[in-house]
Amino acid sequence: MTDEPTRRRPTLDEVAERAGVSRTAASRALNNAPNVSRGKRDAVQRAIKELGYIPNPTARALATQQAGAVGLIISGEDPAVLADPFYGQVIAGVAAVLEEADLHLVLCLATSTRGQVRVKQLLQARAVDGVMLMSLRGDDPLTRLALEADVPAVFGGKPLHGQVPYYVDVDNASGAREATDHLISLGRTRIATITGLLDTDVGRARRRGYTEALTLAGLSPHAEAAGDFTERSGIAAMESLLARAPDLDAVFAANDNMAVGALRALHRAGRSVPADIAVVGFDGLTASEIAEPALTTVRQPIQSIGREMTRMLLALIAGEKPSPLILPTTLIRRDST
């Protein structure tokens, strides 16, 4: 018994012959070069599918002078950040667009000096054709690294410091105002908040929206406790609020993870939700649906953030100059209010 012979991979010449075009035209169509007719592009794509042709990534990179990959840089060293459903949905949106564009994703977690050096080396080596950056805190040096690098850069959310030309964000302040307005409409007047990280634009914007809604209603912030967007911090913050302001009748938490933590703390303390204290979160994660009670939340289009960041980056790589994008939010009313 002999081994089955290894199947030979189709060549670009065979693709060109099957498509009825020259090898040069096939190469240009494969690499998305300009000045190739739609008819030739379609013929080449049909031939690729019929033959099962797989492009040689090294040859393709040399031909296009591109790496064939983009980077998603998250300012955080803890791999547990990837267990957060928020980032999982963002990555799903990014991956969907990159799959259509036949590009690879390089994922980097970087907060420490070593992580920042790694990102700098990635950019200097042009190992990616562009980068997307998220979760930047304070005066994060990653902002400067990205803006000074000779690669296109798109930001997921605006950095707290520095002006960036290309970003995708959600209307965080408006969403927080709507959440707080909802609590006010229910007759709640002693409304506390659990903030997110206040060295981030998103944390400050959501606190600002909460404060603005109260001011417009003639109310004052009842109490505030700081969290870091994790469920554990939501538990600790809610326990702190109950100790310092036991008469509160509502809480706006700056994300769903912290709101779920607040629900746990209230249950342990024997407080009824929403009879004693109403709770609203922000994000629209699956956890908000299965919480007990089901959590009222401000839904943001998380996968759309990933998709639109990637589309914006691909437009930059193609030489276009897209406009920044602000995505809307939607209040989802459930049992916690």
CA–CA dist 178, 141 (Å, integer): 33
CA–CA dist 257, 60 (Å, integer): 43
CA–CA dist 317, 23 (Å, integer): 25
What local confidence, expressed as pLDDT, does residue 33 receive?
Answer: 63
* Helix pair 231-244, 256-268: axis angle to 10 deg: 50
Contacts of 191 (CB under 8 A, 6+ apart): 180, 183, 184, 210, 214, 219, 221, 222, 248, 249, 250, 251, 252
Instruction: Give the pairing of strands 330-332 and 296-299.
Output: antiparallel
Q: Where are the domains of the chain?
A: 12-59, 69-169+303-325, 172-301
- Residue ranges of the chain with per-residue pLDDT less than 70: 1-8, 32-35, 55-67, 76-80, 111-112
For domain 12-59, give its CATH number from 1.10.10.10, 3.40.50.1820, 3.90.1150.10, 1.10.260.40. Answer: 1.10.260.40
Under DSSP, the state recorded for 80 is G
CA-CA-CA-CA torsion for 152, 199, 162, 317, nearest 10 degrees? 10
What local confidence, expressed as pLDDT, does residue 7 receive?
Answer: 57
What local confidence, expressed as pLDDT, does residue 62 receive?
Answer: 43
pTM of the complete model:
0.80
CATH fold label, 172-301: Rossmann fold (3.40.50)
What local confidence, expressed as pLDDT, does residue 35 receive?
Answer: 63
CA–CA dist 27, 44 (Å, integer): 9
Structural class in CATH, domain 69-169+303-325: alpha beta
Q: What angle do CA 11, 14, 16 make, to 5 degrees?
A: 110
Phi-psi region of 184 (alpha: psi -120 to 50; beta: other; left: phi over 0): alpha
CA–CA dist 264, 238 (Å, integer): 9
What local confidence, expressed as pLDDT, does residue 77 receive?
Answer: 58
Domains 12-59 and 69-169+303-325 fall in the same CATH topology: no
Hey, what amino acid is at 69? A
